[in-house]
Amino acid sequence: MKATKQVSSQAKTTAEEQPFLESLALFLEQLPERSRDIVHARFGMVSGTPETLEEIGRAYQITRERVRQVIGGVIGFLSSEQESDKVSRVSEMIKSTLEKKSGIMEAEELLSKLSRGDEKERGALLAFLECLSLVETEKATKDRERVYVLRGFPLEKWKEVKDVARKILSQADEVLEGKELYSRFAALKRQETEKEFFDFLSVAKDIKQNVFGNWGLSSWSDIKPRGTREKAYLVLKTGGKPMHFRDIAKLIDEHGLQGKKAKSHPQTVHNELIKDSRFVLVGRGIYGLSEWGFKKGTVKEVIEEILKKAGKALTREEIVAEVLKVRQVKKSTIIINLNTFFTRVGKNEYALKK
């Protein structure tokens, strides 16, 4: 009796904040005390932590099968009362939430959204979801997470849309912004709206968004970077410009790439990048990507390559401009290298030493 009183008391004091707990507690008052207590324990509506069939059986000195039968009876009772005001209000709230997500929603997202993080509220919501005929639960597959869908939701259509999106991304072989991804999808004469398209993709396992909002295959490092180098590469590539290794470490943390509790160490980032050919030290502690045209080497080596490629002497201004395209150094540093290691030709031109 104690458990039932606890739930009812909380329901009366927080009716607006906990619509599921309140509705279920009032509804279950029609049932025997033991049945109510068993359901409360099973769905965690007293302690906030669901109890196992075995734990409940020990408490009431009954078998696990008997516990299952009692819970099944209560769920059956709730199912038979779906037209009542108490249940229909809850039903409409859940239906409205799913309709806003095009009829499909990851199970954890739906539970978190409607329970607002309250474990007891979550338990009551789970009990309702067990009995409502308008909502169906679909187990996780290799293609998608566990989901709740509105009754009659076309899972075949969902898979078709997801597979088309996967093919587009595979052919692109790079992450795409949302608008670009949908534009390529719509170009195939598809009828799904942009909202429906992304609502469908939100529950896919093999297609995900990264922290910068771009879409790709979940196996790609641009979507789920694992090591320090992959995380730094994603930060630099998305930023589109060279950055100091301290700023790279800061952005890794700001975007949650290192995890909620872990923190990046700037020196570790520096040590990792300097060993990777994808990154080029273009200034004092500043890194760029080799795919942007930056190349490893000293300023002297960069000037040598510029002059070899030109095949002739170049003016100081021309050389400085070319070096600054691939290095973030002071102009005076370039001029010192020119005067020290290269032959001055005429008034203002430089060539390789013979």
- Position 146 in a domain: no
Range(s) of the domain holding residue 175: 155-217
pTM: 0.76
Report pLDDT digits (tens) over 260-291: 778 999 999 999 999 999 999 988 899 999 99
Backbone angles phi, psi at 34, to 5 degrees: -65, -40
Whether 9 and 73 map to the same domain: the answer is: yes
Whether 78 and 47 map to the same domain: the answer is: yes
Whether 16 and 130 map to the same domain: the answer is: yes
- Position 149 in a domain: no
- Position 108 in a domain: yes
Number of domains in the chain: 4
Whether 274 and 334 map to the same domain: the answer is: no
- pLDDT exceeds 70 at position 245: yes
Whether 5 and 66 map to the same domain: the answer is: yes
pLDDT the model gives residue 58: 92
23-27, 121-125, 184-188, range with the lowest pLDDT: 23-27
Report pLDDT digits (tens) over 95-104: 999 999 999 9
Compute the distance between CA of residue 292 and CA of residue 295 in angstroms, rounded to an integer.
9
Burial class (CB in 10 A: 0-12, 13-18, 19+), 7: buried
CATH number at residue 322: 1.10.10
Burial class (CB in 10 A: 0-12, 13-18, 19+), 103: buried
- Position 175 in a domain: yes
Half-sphere exposure of 94 (CA within 13 A, CB side): 31
Contact 133, 151 (CB under 8 A): yes
Q: Where are the beta strands (DSSP E) in the chain?
A: 104-106, 135-138, 147-150, 207-209, 215-217, 243-244, 279-283, 286-289, 314-315, 343-345, 349-351
Whether 14 and 59 map to the same domain: the answer is: yes
Whether 187 and 262 map to the same domain: the answer is: no
Whether 119 and 88 map to the same domain: the answer is: yes
Whether 191 and 237 map to the same domain: the answer is: no
Model confidence at 125, pLDDT cuts 50, 70, 90, reads: very high
Q: H helices then E strands: how many in the chain? A: 17, 11
What is residue 282's DSSP assignment? E
